[in-house]
Every structure is written in structure tokens, then in C-alpha cells.
Amino acid sequence: MAYNKHYITKDRNVNLPYQSVRRMMIVGVSLVVASLFIITVLTLPATLVTATHYPAKLSPQLQTTLQQTTPDTSIRVIVHLNETANLNKLTLSAAEIPRRQQVMSALQQTAVSAQATLLPQLQSIQQSGKITQYRQFWIINAIAVTGTPEAIAQLAAHASVKQIELDEQRQYFVPPASAIVPDELLNTTAVFTSPIQSWGINRVNAPHVWHGLNVDGTDVTVAIMDSGVDWQHPDLLPNYRGNLGNGSFDHAGSWYFAPVPTMTEPIDLHGHGTHVAGTAVGQNGIGIAPGAKWIAVGLTNETGLIFDSAIHAGFEWLLAPNGDPSLAPDVINNSWGASSNETTFVEDINALQAAGIVTVFSAGNNGPFSQTISSPASYTNTLAVAATTIRDEVAWFSSRGPSSLTSEQTPYISAPGTAIYSSLPDNKYGYNHGTSMAAPHVTGAIALMLSANPTLTHAQLLEQLKNTAVSINSTHPNNDAGWGLLDTYEAIAPLVTTGNLQGVVFYNDVPQPGIVVSVTNNSGHTIPYITDGSGRYSATLAPGSYSVQVHSFGFEPFTTSSRAVLINKTTLQ
């Protein structure tokens, strides 16, 4: 298809076919002195026609890029079509798998219908060599295209095209500007129980959930959408969903590498994702939900740079891993983010929420000033997590709300995010800090809650987190810490069948506050409690038999015989 291009000379506007202009440029070379001005203008990119004719269809960033590039340069863009699936009109099933199938079908039907009119032209342009590759999406009804400015102009002219924007490549993993020295761990007053290795695990009371409530994330699937995951790490391999046991593995529905989909075995060339995965689901005391299965989407190589199209591809895959919505995760951890006002992934998040999949995002590391929260953490349908220090203060680097994109509380909740010990590639471990480390604490907590009660809705999960978070600021909630510090024990205890074990520690008939009381279950796991100002301790526990031991400096430990905790009953010690 021939297109007339507008070129501006010194004297007037001239409308000439592209090939004619090229002939004028060749002749003009021999007239350097006499026609310098004309030569300079005529060699400007032919792409000015796109900005002139289709400004409403081209994002500002794309218009700028077109004005600065040459006609034969390939540009990565995302072409959005007019139709959008109205998921709000669907009568969604309460059952998990049918609901996800409904959402996927509605999105796919819209995309197939809308893109059908554009595909013939797209394929024709590709055959001409002006488009090198394209990739269709149904989660957002868009097509990622790599093509010349002329190809972009032709696509923009199509009636079915709503907007074309740059396929931006960004650094989504931005750590805080200053590191926290791991020696800060030495100042903790938290009670640690072997083999716990991360202070954050104890601070949010995860061991109380595992050993006191018998909940560890079993029957829940967590997705890590990040730089990738070292699936062979000893604290991650056991609960990788692609691990079928007995040395057999199937990665097809458990791993997707967006930049190179043919890379079918999980990798992490950056290290960020492996650390995040360890905090969410790692074994041996580094993860919140060690009983949950995990899957992963890799977004980047060792540089940490990510194309927007890779993220769209990742979200789409997660809605139906290997094309099967029954393999979709229950919760997705997203420890990445960009500018707070970017709305690039709103449609993806809405689709995932409609399918009943919870999306947890790190708030960002752009604090301490207000309105610095990253996107997509700044969206309405995401759960944004701020970072706290070992002193239960909001970390200075943690991004603050409010968000201009939603009236909801952002950030929503806080979790430990400084000097977090977790897994690293090649069977290693290390400390990292940032809201990237805080988010997987909450992702793991969501897994524990769904393990305790699989019927919980998105709204019920948020309400439970809100009602049980520990306030760490004078105002509650606030735009620094949200509703407060995550407490997994308080969040999950009401969701399971429990009883109560209570007692008072005396010395010479005087109640003793601040005494460590260790409650040991039948499996030999010990859960620490601390007496209050009246010397009283209270342990909400799953029904069973428990022994109690009292520890205090300068006194011999005192151990009681086994005590039975009964359903909805209080056992006094």
C-alpha cells in the first residue's frame, strides 16, 4: 500500500510519494551549497506523517521515538484494539476452575473477534519485511509488534486500532539506595526457634501457624513472577509443582520464560526471584508457606531489564498455564514496579482478579516521601506491601501513598523488608532488603489463609489482613504502613478449628511478666509465648496434646505434663 508522506521545505508543504522523495534526496547531494537547508529537512525521518495524522492513536512516548528514528529502524510497540471484554457483565461461577475458564473464554472470544480484521494487514506488512515479528495477546486484546515506522503508520490507520504505545523496556527491580548491614540482626529481641533463619518469619508469627494451628500452605499454589527461580535450590525443589517426585519433572505448566518461551527449564540469571521465592515458600525456616506449591514466570535476564510485553505475556500465561486455567495459581507475588502513574497493566490485573487470583505487589523503594508508591501497587485491585525494619518501623526507603489511581488504602499492609535472609541461585543464601522482600511475606500469608479456608474471597482476605494487622504508627491506617504489620497467627487462627491453653506464671505468689513460655506439640515443635503484664499467657492452638515449659534467667526450667486442648474449650494451666 502506497502512502504519501508530508515533508516540510523552506517555502511550502509538498506532498510526494516516498520513492519520489528518495530521488530528490539523491539529486540534492550534488547541490550541497545551494540547497543545504532543503537537504537537511528532506533527510528528516519519514515518520513525521504518523504524528501528524494519528496523534490520538500514538502514545506521546511513541510519537517522540518516531520523530527521532530513521525509516528503516525497527521499533517495538504494543497495538491495542478497540474492543474490551466486559468482565463485569459475566455471571461468574463460585467454583474456582469454572470461574477461571469463564474469564479466559470471554477474553479470548473478544480478542479473536477483534483481531481478525487486523491480522490480514499485519501479515501482509510482515511479508513485505516491514514487520519482523508479532505476538497476539488475549488478556488485554492487543498485539506486540516489532516493525518499521511505516508499518506502525499503516497499523495506526486501521479502524480497529485504538492506540499504539511503545513496548517500553524498564528496570523494574530497583533496590533501595542504601544497604542495611546484616549486623542489625544482632539487636533483635525476637524469640527465635530452631531452625528459623530469617527474623521476618518470626516477626509475623509464621511458626505459630505451622506448629500451633497445623497450617503450612498445603493445597495452595503460589506464583513467583520475577526474574526467575533456581528450581534446584534445596529449599525450593521439594515444593516446586513441576517436581513430580522420584527424579521426574514436568515444567510445562509450572514455568514460563517470557523473553524466550522456548527456554523450558526454570532459570534465574539475576537472583532476585530466587530470594523472593524463598521468603514466600522456602523450606527450613526461610519461607512463610513451606507447604504450598510454587510455579514461576521469568521476566528478564541478568540485566534486570523487562519489556512491558513480557509482563503481559507472563500475566496471560498465569491465567492459564500451558493453556490450562485449572493450573492457575491462587496468589501471585510481584516484587517489581515502575512509576506510580503507569496504568499499563490495569486490564491484566482486572482479569486476574475476576478469575479469583490475588495479586500482591511490593510498594516500591522510592520513599520516604508521600505519593511515591510504584505501579501496579498503586492500582485499585492490587495488594500493596510496605517494608518494615527489625524495630517495627516503616523502612525509610519504603514508598508511601496515597495513590492517584485509587481511593483504596495504599500501601495496604506492611511486612519485614530489611536484612531478609533467603535463598539465592546455586544453592546459596544471602541478605536482601527492599519492599521486594516484604511482599513475599504477605504472599505466603495469603497462601496460609487459603490453606486454612479455600473459600475465602479476595475481599474477605483483605478484610482479615486489615483486622488483624498490628498498628505501628500513631494513626491507623496511614499512607506509610497501611493497616499495620502483618500477623499471620492472628489472621489465620479464626479460620481454623481451635481451642485455648491459658496460664499464669508466678514466683513467690507474684505474677511474672515477660517470661518465655514454650508450648510443645506432639511433633516436638516448640512455640514460644511471652507472659503479659499480669504474668498471663494465652495460646490459641489446634486440638491436641501439648506440654508447657517455663524459662526465665536465673531459674531452672519448669515443665508441666501433657495438657489436652479441646475444640472451642479453654484449658487452664
Looking at the annotation, which residues are catalytic? Answer: 226, 272, 436
Q: Under 8 Å CB-to-CB from 207, ≥6 apart: which residues?
A: 193, 196, 201, 525, 527
Q: Which of 408, 387, 409, 416 is nearest to 488 (CA)?
A: 416
Cell of 140: 488485554
- The answer to whether 102 and 187 have CB atoms below 8 angstroms apart is no
Strands 75-81 and 142-147: antiparallel
> Amino acid letter at 261?
P
Distance CA 290, CA 198 (A): 14
User: Measured between alpha carbons, how far is residue 355 from residues 111, 276, 345, 439, 462 in Å?
Assistant: 17, 24, 16, 21, 16
Phi, psi values for residue 162, rounded to 5°? -90, -50
d(CA 103, CA 97): 10
Judged by DSSP in three states, 563 sits in strand
Name beta bridge partners: 460. none
All three cell numbers of 150, joined, read 511505516
How many other β-carbons are positioned within 10 Å of the β-carbon of residue 332?
27
Q: How far is CA 307 from the centre of its chain?
A: 15
3-state secondary structure of 13: strand
Q: Give the number of other CB atoms < 10 A from CB of residue 73.
A: 14
520-523's contacts with Cβ under 8 Å and 24+ in sequence apart are 520/546, 520/547, 520/548, 520/549, 521/211, 521/212, 521/545, 521/546, 522/546, 523/211
Biggest CA pair distance of the chain: 108
Annotate 366-387 with three-state secondary structure: CCCCCCCCCECCCCCCCEEEEE
Contacting residues for 516 by C-beta, under 8 A, at least 6 apart: 191, 528, 529, 530, 550, 551, 552
What 8-state DSSP symbol labels residue 81? E
d(CA 278, CA 328): 20
Q: Which residue is listed with cell 483481531?
A: 115
- Where are any strands of DSSP class E within 73-141? 75-81, 131-137
Look at strands 536-541 and 516-520 and give their pairing.
unpaired
